[in-house]
Amino acid sequence: MMINLLFELFTYLDNLVLEQLLQKLNNHKFDLVMTEIFNTDLFLGFAYKYKANIISLSSCPVVPWGTQRFGIPDNPAYIPYAFSSKIDLTSFTNRLWNFYSNFILKTVYEQYYLNKISNTAKKYFGSDMTSLEELTKKTSLLLVNSHPSLKEARPLPPQVIEIGGLHVKPAKPLLKVSSSNSYMIQKQKYIFSYGNDLFVGLQKYKFLRGVTYNHDL
């Protein structure tokens, strides 16, 4: 029910934005259309209108309804779906839940929402336009805001590139400690706070025995 309400909201907002864009871009010509794969493929109609190439972006790991168009493996037996936290897929229960979640999202988008936005696209771009499903398959490149260090590594085709961390600048080198200050540093105590993600038992390691831990900071 909640998913249906969200897609209804997306449909309403898409109509408002599309009308405004068509008015502003009516007398323009474009060679490239860039869209995001998330909640709608409606704006691929501009690629049909201008006969332009398509590049897609994804601000999160590729959503379940976006994998098939690029040939991305998404076997729920060992690949968690995009909106799941890191779950252990070694148990049958977790695999079943992963399959169910992936299946529901795909089905709702492809069987319900895609039909709605296809009708909207034909209304604004012409009844003889190429179907949105076919336009998605003409996407030349997909840039994904993800990284194997944050999510499970998975095989990707050449036209799908993970760019997570592209904005991160190289780390600055650590300051060198002179021998005159090394004795004082060894005698000092420090407080580390890692939230709840790091077990306090790390202090069993020798090089951390002089450290005070507080995971509630």
Question: How many DSSP H helices and E strands does the chain contain?
Answer: 6, 6
End-to-end alpha carbon distance in the chain: 39
- For 25-73, the pLDDT digits (tens) are 777 888 998 988 887 888 888 888 888 999 999 888 888 888 888 888 8
| Residue 98 and residue 84 in contact, taking contact as beta carbons nearer than 8 Å | yes
Domain boundaries defined on the chain: 1-162
Output the pTM of the full model: 0.67
Kindly report which listed range (14-23, 174-183, 185-194) carries the lowest average pLDDT score.
185-194
**DSSP code of 10?**
H
CA 199 to chain centre: 29
Task: Dig out the tokens for 132 from the structure.
Answer: 């949105």
Report the DSSP beta bridge partners of residue 141.
55
Q: What is the dihedral of CA 17, 19, 23, 28, to 10 degrees?
A: 70
Distance, CA of 101 to CA of 66 (rounded, Å): 15
Tell me what the pLDDT averaged over the chain comes to.
Answer: 76
- pLDDT, residue 141, reads 93
